[in-house]
Every structure is written in C-alpha cells, then in structure tokens.
C-alpha cells in the first residue's frame, strides 16, 4: 500500500493576494515562491507559463516586478502535504559558508563557486539562494540581487531586506552598480580596449536549449573589454557590463571571434578540447568586482572575489609556456 504520508495532499482554492510596499520590486516568480511555501519551482513556472497567474487581471511573466497595490490571482494548486523541502547537503552548506566574502545587516556577498546554480530548478535541487537561506534562517527577506550563470564564479550580491533589494535594483536600473569580470579568451588581441555595442536576442532551440545571439531585433547590449595580458594563444581581459543581458559577455566575446575558453555553448569545440587537455576544465569567466555608491553620501562599496586557485594555476602554466 502507498505510504499515507506520501499520498497526503492539500488543495488550495483560488487566492487573491495584494502586494504591499515591503514586496514592491520583487520578481513575480520569487513572490509566488514565498507565497506558496514548499511549492516546487517547476510548478510555479508552469502556472506562470500557462497564464494561470494573473496580475491585475492580466498575464505577467516570471520576471515582472510586482508593485505596491498589485492584485495577484493564484490558481488552485495541489501541493504535497508531506515534509518540508529537503535541506541542501551539508557539504554544499559548508562550501557556501566558506565562500561568504562580506555580510552585514543588509547585504551578503558570496564568491559563488563555478558549477553551482544561483537557485534550484531545471533539474537542480538546490542552489546558492536555497543554501544561504538554510544557513541564515532568521533572514526571511534574503533575495538574489542579480544572477550569474551556473558555470561562472565570483561576486554574487544578495539583499537581506526588501528595502535594500529595491535600492540595489534602482542602482542597477541607473547603471550605478558596476560589475567587472575576468575572462580568458581564445586568440591573441592586438588592441588594448574594445567596446562591443551589439543587441542580443534570446532564442529557444527545438530541444528546449536557450541560446542568445547578436540580432538587430534584440535588446541593446554593451560590454567594454580591456586587455590585461596575452598568454600563449590566449588573452586575459577585464570585461565591464554596461547592460545585464543573459550570457552577454560570452556572446559578445564570441561575436569578436575570440570566445571565452571553456564555453561549451558559444565557444570553439576544438580549442576547448585542446585547453581541456592542458587542465582547463571549466568556463574561464569570473565576476571579479562589484562597486556601487552607498546611500546618503556614505561613500562607495567595493568588493573583489579572489580567482579560483585552479584558474590561477592555469594562468601560471600559460605564463611559463613559450
């Protein structure tokens, strides 16, 4: 016979929730995950995708930023009534605790390890946000300020309060939150600086894979590259994001004909294979620094994330290559 605990379910009737000022500016998907404690991300995204969630009687996408006074319709859902979601594994929690670069009453910055998603979903049980919420259960308002690709390491900023999240999102909209990355590119650059101003458009392939391409019909996207060093058949660059599009640095680097090494989606397979044989087994893209002004003229916040020791070792190896 089936286990009654596994079969137990709870039915939620249609609910209408009004957004208050504390939640203003939160992404709709995150708002729903908070309202539907224990609901799988896959379920939340399915009801969003199929239009069952309505904001002020109209459809809204997952990335919609809710506003004070918005009336949100949450459809009837059947949620498992068994146990609470499993906690991330202890090894992952220890890794995240060790990766925290800075923390105060409002902010938390972590040096995200490569290979760890920022949140669960799409076959990933736990990500950075789930792990940090498990480590900081008293910080009920802990939210991601921005995102990093799963294979990208480096500075990831989180807010502990809704008011802080709104303030930081305002800085992002104004272009006042500066993000710089280190990337190792295939090929040798002669130029010291390159500005790429090429619109990007998201596409979904037949198999469901999401790719981003330079497309005149896409969204305005701008990246500034500065050459730091030329090593063997590569160039180490610093990349500054002026816009925050999906896969922006990776696509713009490939657009220049010098893709990021280790990039399985936009890079050169043969080149990646050659450098993998030399020890590079991940994407060489690292969010190195975050800089933004503090409120009320209190100065500037700046933080740097040290490069993965494996990447440092790889650079040293290239430096010794004739």
For the cut 70, the answer to whether the pLDDT of residue 88 exceeds it is: yes
| Token duo for residue 245 | 């599009």
| Token duo for residue 86 | 């499993």
Assess whether the region 90-163 and the region 175-319 belong to the same CATH fold: yes
What was the pLDDT predicted at 122?
Answer: 58
Residue bearing the bigger pLDDT, 245 or 11: 245
What was the pLDDT predicted at 281?
Answer: 93
Backbone angles phi, psi at 15, to 5 degrees: -125, 145
Beta bridge partners of 79: 10
Q: Domain ranges for the chain, please list them.
A: 9-80, 90-163, 175-319
What was the pLDDT predicted at 296?
Answer: 80
What was the pLDDT predicted at 4?
Answer: 39
pLDDT tens, 191-244? 999 999 999 998 866 566 789 999 999 999 999 999 999 998 999 999 999 999
User: Quick check: 207 and 196 in contact, CB under 8 A?
Assistant: no
Backbone angles phi, psi at 245, to 5 degrees: -85, 155
| CATH number of the structural domain 175-319 | 3.30.2350.10
For the cut 50, the answer to whether the pLDDT of residue 298 exceeds it is: yes
Q: Say how many C-beta atoms besides its own lie within 10 A of residue 176's C-beta.
A: 12
What was the pLDDT predicted at 264?
Answer: 94
> What's the CA gap between 294 and 163, in Å, rounded?
14
Residue bearing the bigger pLDDT, 82 or 90: 90
Backbone angles phi, psi at 223, to 5 degrees: -130, 135
| Token duo for residue 52 | 């069952």
Catalytic positions are 149
Backbone angles phi, psi at 61, to 5 degrees: -85, 165
SS3 152: coil
User: Quick check: 92 and 131 in contact, CB under 8 A?
Assistant: yes
Task: For residue 150, give the nearest of 123, 112, 117, 110 by alpha carbon.
Answer: 117
Residue bearing the bigger pLDDT, 184 or 317: 184
pLDDT tens, 137-194? 898 889 999 999 999 999 999 999 988 998 999 999 999 999 999 999 999 999 999 9
Q: Say how many C-beta atoms besides its own lie within 10 A of residue 205's C-beta.
A: 8
What was the pLDDT predicted at 31?
Answer: 86
Q: What percent of the chain has pLDDT over 70?
A: 89
| Token duo for residue 299 | 């100065």
Residue 42, burial from CB neighbour count under 10 angstroms (0-12, 13-18, 19+): exposed
What was the pLDDT predicted at 40?
Answer: 78
SS3 62: coil
pLDDT tens, 248-285? 999 999 999 999 999 999 999 999 999 999 999 999 99
Q: Of 54-63, 71-80, 224-233, give the lowest mean pLDDT range.
A: 71-80
| CATH number of the structural domain 9-80 | 3.10.290.10
Q: How confident is the model at residue 123 (pLDDT cuts 50, 70, 90)?
A: low
- For 123: left if phi > 0, alpha if psi spans -120 to 50, otherwise beta; the answer is left
DSSP 16-33: EEE--GGGTT-BHHHHHH
> What's the CA gap between 158 and 164, in Å, rounded?
9
Q: What percent of the chain has pLDDT over 90?
A: 63
What are the percentages of helix, strand and coil residues in the chain, rounded to 5? Answer: 25, 30, 40
| CATH number of the structural domain 90-163 | 3.30.2350.10
End-to-end Cα spacing for the chain = 69
């Amino acid at each position: 016979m089936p286990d009654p605990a596994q079969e137990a379910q709870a039915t939620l009737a249609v609910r209408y929730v009004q957004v208050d000022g504390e939640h203003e500016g939160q992404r709709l998907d995150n708002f729903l995950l908070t309202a539907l404690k224990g609901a799988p991300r896959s379920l939340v995204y399915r009801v969003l995708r199929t239009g069952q969630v309505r904001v002020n009687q109209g459809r809204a996408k997952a990335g919609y930023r809710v506003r004070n006074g918005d009336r949100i319709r949450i459809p009837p859902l059947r949620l498992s009534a068994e146990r609470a979601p499993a906690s991330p594994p202890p090894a992952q929690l220890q890794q995240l605790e060790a990766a925290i670069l800075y923390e105060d009453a409002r902010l938390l910055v972590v040096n995200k390890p490569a290979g760890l998603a920022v949140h669960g979903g799409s076959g990933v049980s736990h990500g950075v946000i789930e792990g940090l919420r498990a480590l900081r259960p008293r910080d009920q308002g802990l939210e991601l300020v921005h995102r990093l690709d799963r294979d990208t390491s480096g500075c990831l900023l989180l807010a502990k309060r809704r008011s802080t999240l709104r303030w930081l999102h305002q800085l992002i909209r104004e272009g006042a939150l500066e993000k710089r990355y280190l990337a190792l590119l295939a090929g040798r650059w002669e130029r010291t600086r390159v500005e790429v101003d090429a619109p990007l458009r998201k596409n979904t392939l037949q198999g469901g894979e999401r790719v981003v391409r330079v497309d005149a019909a896409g969204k305005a996207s701008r990246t500034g590259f500065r050459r730091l060093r030329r090593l063997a058949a590569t160039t180490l660059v610093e990349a500054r994001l002026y816009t925050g599009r999906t896969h922006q640095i990776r696509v713009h680097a490939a657009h220049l004909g010098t893709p990021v090494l280790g990039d399985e989606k936009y890079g050169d397979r043969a080149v990646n294979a050659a450098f993998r044989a030399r020890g590079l087994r991940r994407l060489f893209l690292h969010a190195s620094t975050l800089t933004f002004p503090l409120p009320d003229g209190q100065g500037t916040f700046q933080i740097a994330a040290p490069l993965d020791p494996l990447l440092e070792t790889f650079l040293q190896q290239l430096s010794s290559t004739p």
